């Protein structure tokens, strides 16, 4: 799906250069259905399910070994399903240049598995040689914006196509930030032509943790560039003041408040491929399948109202 085809709302926020991507949208279109994160324990159940999910997503790094069972499993699901390749460790948000070795490995996966969607994070994880295995935050300044844009340029050059950038869930802010997150992201899209992966749970987690309204964030967010949505469960802890601090834990069902936000997004933007992430305390397949089915119902409703009266939904 091309990001321009999602341009149904938030037209006022449309940046000047929008729609002029350096990379043609990939020909292997992905339907605007719900997908799931692929785990090997679910392989047989996914293949046997009479009501197949719309697509599967994998973390790219888990398939960067030379061979063996992981590639065998991915080849098998790829036969039956469109694929989203989700990078976790590119460290786009750090100051140092991207690892050329890692870029080459990533490109090899793109070439081999021909994913319909390719994404990475607005975060960093590697400094010098040390890899910290978490999506770490960055201050939003002109300098970090330049770093991020040059890294996305490099990644898109290497893989030869557009990537989607995911908004982070964060627990701290930086005193030296000069831009807010939505302005930062909008400028990245304008400069690099990348698309966006909107993680609605991350919006809710960050909004709660930092005391802003998730709705105002979404109002400011360049929705017309979103090519994929993520949903996931979170955990609740407490900050230093005893107020809720949400952890983006991916170990539980999607929270009701996140479903509500997601419905609002989809009603506004129209159907967008939506992934349910569940990475820890994995449930049995039927439970994960039911989460995806819940997203499909919301996508169906939106598709229906679009067909019934598109012009009313645009509000332009």
Partner 1 sequence: MQSAPEKSDLNAAGFRAAILDPVREKPATVEGPRGKQAVKRFNVYRNNVTVSLINALADIFPAVMRITGETLFRDMAREFVRAHPPVSPLLFLYGHDFPAFIEHFEHARRMPYLADVARVERAWLTAYHAADLEPLDPQALAKIAPEDLEGAMFKPHPATGLIRSPYAAFDIFDANRNRETIGRIDVTRPQDVLVTRPGMDVTVTGLPQGHGAFFASLIAGDCLGDAAEAGARASSAFDINEAIGGMFATGAFLSVTTEQT
Partner 2 sequence: MTKATKTAFSGAVLAGAVAAAISGAQLVTATDAAAANVKCYGVAMAGQNDCAAGPGTTCQGTSTVDYQGNAWKYVEEGSCASMELPGERMGSLEPLERDMPS
Total residues interacting with partner 2, rule: CB under 8 A: 26
**C-beta neighbour count of 259 within 10 angstroms:** 17
Structure tokens, 297: 């119902």
Stretch that binds partner 1, among 17-25, 110-118, 134-142, 281-289 (CB under 8 A): 134-142
Stretch that binds partner 2, among 148-156, 176-184, 208-216, 277-285 (CB under 8 A): 277-285
Q: Residue 214 CA to chain centroid, in angstroms?
A: 17
Among 42, 102, 190, 230, binds partner 1 (CB under 8 A): 102
Q: Which is nearer to partner 1, 204 or 262 (CB)?
A: 204
Q: Could you identify the residue written with the tokens 């899209």?
A: 189
**C-beta neighbour count of 155 within 10 angstroms:** 24
Among 65, 160, 286, 315, binds partner 1 (CB under 8 A): 65
Residues 6+ apart with CB under 8 A from 183: 140, 220
Among 125, 162, 167, 201, binds partner 1 (CB under 8 A): 125
Q: Considering the rule CB under 8 A, would residue 245 count as an interface residue with partner 2? A: no
Q: Considering the rule CB under 8 A, would residue 313 count as an interface residue with partner 1? A: no
Q: Considering the rule CB under 8 A, would residue 89 count as an interface residue with partner 2? A: yes
Of 55, 50, 43, give the one whose Cα is nearest residue 1. Answer: 55
Residues 6+ apart with CB under 8 A from 281: 251, 252
Bridge partners of residue 230, in order along the sequence:
199, 275
Stretch that binds partner 2, among 7-15, 56-64, 155-163, 207-215 (CB under 8 A): 56-64
Site mask, partner 1, residues 208-237, x = CB under 8 A?
A: -xxxx------------------------x
Q: Considering the rule CB under 8 A, would residue 251 count as an interface residue with partner 2? A: yes
Rounded distance, CA 128 to CA 13, Å? 37
Stretch that binds partner 1, among 29-37, 44-52, 70-78, 217-225 (CB under 8 A): 70-78
Stretch that binds partner 1, among 15-23, 43-51, 63-71, 222-230 (CB under 8 A): 63-71
Q: Could you identify the residue written with the tokens 């719900």?
A: 34
Q: Which is nearer to partner 2, 86 or 151 (CB)?
A: 86
Min dist. Cβ of residue 81 to partner 2 (A): 19
Length of the chain: 316
Alpha helices in 30-141 (DSSP H): 43-48, 69-80, 100-113
Of 204, 126, 222, give the one whose Cα is nearest residue 168. Answer: 204
């Amino acid at each position: 799906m091309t990001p321009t085809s999602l341009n149904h709302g938030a037209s006022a926020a449309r940046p000047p250069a929008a729609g002029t991507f350096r990379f043609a949208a990939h020909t292997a279109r992905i339907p605007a259905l719900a997908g799931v994160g692929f785990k090997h324990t679910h392989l047989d159940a996914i293949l046997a399910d009479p009501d197949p999910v719309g697509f599967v997503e994998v973390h790219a790094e888990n398939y960067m070994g030379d061979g063996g069972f992981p590639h065998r499993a991915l080849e098998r699901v790829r036969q039956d399903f469109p694929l989203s390749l989700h990078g976790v460790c590119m460290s786009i948000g750090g100051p140092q240049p991207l690892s050329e070795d890692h870029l080459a490995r990533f490109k090899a996966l793109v070439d081999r598995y021909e994913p319909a969607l390719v994404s990475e994070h607005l975060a960093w994880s590697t400094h010098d040689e040390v890899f910290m295995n978490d999506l770490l935050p960055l201050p939003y300044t002109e300098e970090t914006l330049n770093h991020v844009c040059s890294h996305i340029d490099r990644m898109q050059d290497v893989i030869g196509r557009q990537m989607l950038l995911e908004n982070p869930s964060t627990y701290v802010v930086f005193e030296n930030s000069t831009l807010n997150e939505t302005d930062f992201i909008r400028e990245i899209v304008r400069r690099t032509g990348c698309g966006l992966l909107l993680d609605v749970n991350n919006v809710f987690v960050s909004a709660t943790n930092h005391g802003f309204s998730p709705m105002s964030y979404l109002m400011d967010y360049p929705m017309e560039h979103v090519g994929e949505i993520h949903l996931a469960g979170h955990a609740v802890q407490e900050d230093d003041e005893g107020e809720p601090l949400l952890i983006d834990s991916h170990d539980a069902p999607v929270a009701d408040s996140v479903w509500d936000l997601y419905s609002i997004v989809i009603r506004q933007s129209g159907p967008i491929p939506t992934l349910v992430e569940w990475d820890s305390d994995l449930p049995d397949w039927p439970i994960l399948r039911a989460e995806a089915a819940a997203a499909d119902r919301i996508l169906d409703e939106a598709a229906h109202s679009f067909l019934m009266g598109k012009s009313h939904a645009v509000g332009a």
